[in-house]
Amino acid sequence: MVDWRKSSVTNGGVHLAVFEVAGSAEPGVADPRPTVLLIHGWPDTHHLWTHVAPVLAEDFRVVAYDSRGFGESDRPDGDDAYRLSVLADDLFAVAEAVSPDGPVHIVAHDWGSVQAWEAVTRPGAEQRIGSFVSVSGPNLDYLADWARDNLSRPTPRKLGRALAQASSSSYTVFFQLPVLPKMFFSVAGTPAVWREFLHRVEGTPRENVVVADTLGDDMISGLRLYRANIRQKLRNPESRPTAVPVLEVVNERDIALRPAIFADTYRHAQRLWRRNTPTGHWLPYTRPGYLADVAREFIATHSTGSRTGTSGRMDRARVFSRPNPLSGKLAVVTGAGSGIGRATARALAERGCELVLADIDTAAVEETAQESKAAGASASPYELDVSDTAAVTDFADVVRARHGVPDIVVNNAGIGLAGGALDATDEQIDRLLDVNLRGVVSGSRAFGRQMVERGVGGHIVNIASAAAFTPQRTLGVYAASKAGVLLFSESLRAELAEHRIGVTAICPGIVDTAIVANTPIAGLDATHEAAERDRLAGWYRRRGFTPDRVADDIVRAIIRDKAVVPVTAEAKIGYRIYRFTPWLSRFAARQKVTR
């Protein structure tokens, strides 16, 4: 538990209970570190920050307070005392009292974030507020504008978004009724019921939910927030800009707030950053370590006197225009020096990802990195032989230390081997399986462990092949390696589903890449092998299916969390034949193809 040191601040005759994490400095001795102000929402108190505050206190002076109507603060009568303008006055009063000589950095959740938005959009707020981390709490003026835009010029997509958010917010209508909600929370507003509710709706560990003894009263008193502000803001929004640096932590599984409502924040916030994670509404309880790390890095980036250095990781989360689903993600791509790997790097760069690129060919991967930077992305090239399991593990550790845990991993590196299985040498088979199968397994395991430990999801893409389900007499060993990738990916997807980590197997057919020109053909002498490779490469070029089209399918698969994606026409046909009429696949595999 946190050792809180209690004091009090008065604003307009209302006494606000203020709590500072003890131990950072002796009583009466000024703490020179930047001050972080934590603000809770409904129906919480400063106890919401029980697991976040100690982590932040390692680097900052940490203060929280109970908003009026909650916990140990006063509970003035009437709805007018809970208007956002008044709550913003409370925020500034606390900020002035706890940090009179410098700005505070705000981390706020739910209604705490809503009232912080009211504060940061006041003219000159940047003089008092150094930065703002917003978690699951929109600016109600921006939300009203967003709703009007979606409803005034409706398209099926806009209307769907508006209706989805209306459904998620339907509870607020109940909260604004005069009698029923008070009766409901008089019975259901107990710590045991609340812990069970959070556990069931988003898997929050029951032991993480720390609440005040006043929970039932807080639930009822806090209903004034809904009555005093929602209808007023929706009817008469006054959207104001802010110059305060803002980080929006968008929880993609939020039961109350759909991610779409935050899409237009960039129009108002001059300095905006964004982090999307597949997490739920009560992030301070479910993933406090993650939230603390994200907030600490953002605050350190925008403060002086912090002992925490910055690595520049926040750069990838900067938002300059309407965000897309992959904006700000950290993506690792192996085999990025050419072909599908290079095209995937380019596609992810264009969608706002930071890239970590690896390939056995150093010059080639450096060229891909330069192309990615030209597209406006941050890209770091690394030399890597994925057949070396220890090297893959070390590479994953380096990525985590230098760049962070990746959100996306594309295990693309692969090689080819044609000819009969009986003609292939042991060395050829070992190399093929080490790269194509073991390399994918090693990369998935190393980065998958990191994603699980971080606890906020991610996505792994493994490049298989249509050969995985279209048996051919001259691709037996290659097909085996890719079939292994396919079934491994399906199995890993099941294993990681509970951690919100998606796994996709991409199965291209005939794609014009350099892999064909470099493929050994077992059973042929050097002269005939070179001639056959040239013939196959020419055929692939005439087919005309380019790697960028595969990359587009990879991006769509990540966004839509697809399990198996056959890419080319022949791959899609082959996938269905193998599933529904496998005898036909076996018959076709026996045929000798002459060209």
Q: What is the pLDDT of residues 230-253, one digit of tens each?
A: 999 989 999 999 999 999 999 999
Six-digit token string for 317: 């989360």
CA distance 120 to 106: 10
Pairing of strands 246-251, 564-566: unpaired
Residues 350-365 have a mean pLDDT of: 95
Distance in angstroms (rounded) separating the CA atoms of residues 102 and 370: 41
Delimit the domains of the chain by residue range.
4-319, 330-589
Q: Is 266 a known active-site residue?
A: no
pLDDT at res. 310: 42
CATH topology of domain 330-589: Rossmann fold (3.40.50)
**Beta sheet of 564-566, edge-to-edge order:** 379-383, 354-359, 330-334, 408-411, 458-463, 501-507, 564-566
Instruction: In whole angstroms, give the CA distance from residue 279 to residue 454.
Output: 12
Pick from 59, 127, 113, 94: which is nearest to 299 by CA?
59
Assigned fold of 4-319: Rossmann fold (3.40.50)
Among 143-152, 173-182, 303-312, 484-493, name the one with the lowest average pLDDT: 303-312
**Residues 362-411 pLDDT 10s:** 999 999 999 999 988 899 999 999 999 999 999 999 999 999 999 999 99
Distance of CA 184 to the CA centre of its chain: 36
Helix (H) or strand (E) holding 408: strand 408-411
What's the DSSP call for residue 391?
H
| pLDDT at 537 exceeding the cut of 90 | no
pLDDT at 533: 65
d(CA 131, CA 135): 13
Query: Would the pLDDT of 544 be above 70?
Result: no
Catalytic residue, candidates 65, 290, 478, 575: 478
Two domains, one topology: 4-319 and 330-589: yes
Judge contact between 48 and 109, C-beta under 8 A: yes
Q: For 267, which DSSP code?
A: G
Nearest to 560 by CA among 508, 507, 504, 509: 504
Alpha-carbon torsion 394, 383, 317, 61, what sign?
A: positive
Compute the chain's Rg from CA coordinates: 28
Does the pLDDT at position 2 exceed 80? yes
pLDDT (0 to 100) of residue 306:
47
Q: CA 75 to CA 292: how far, in whole Å?
A: 30
Q: What is the pLDDT of residues 476-490, one digit of tens each?
A: 898 999 999 999 999
Residues 257-281, mean pLDDT to the nearest whole number: 91
Q: Percent of the chain at pLDDT above 70?
A: 91
Q: Are 278 and 255 in contact (CB under 8 A)?
A: no
The pTM for the full model equals: 0.84
Write the DSSP symbol of residue 316.
G
Lowest mean pLDDT among 13-22, 29-38, 533-542: 533-542
Q: Is 594 helix (H, G, I), strand (E, B) or coil?
A: coil
- For the record, the structure tokens of 466 come out as 């249509």
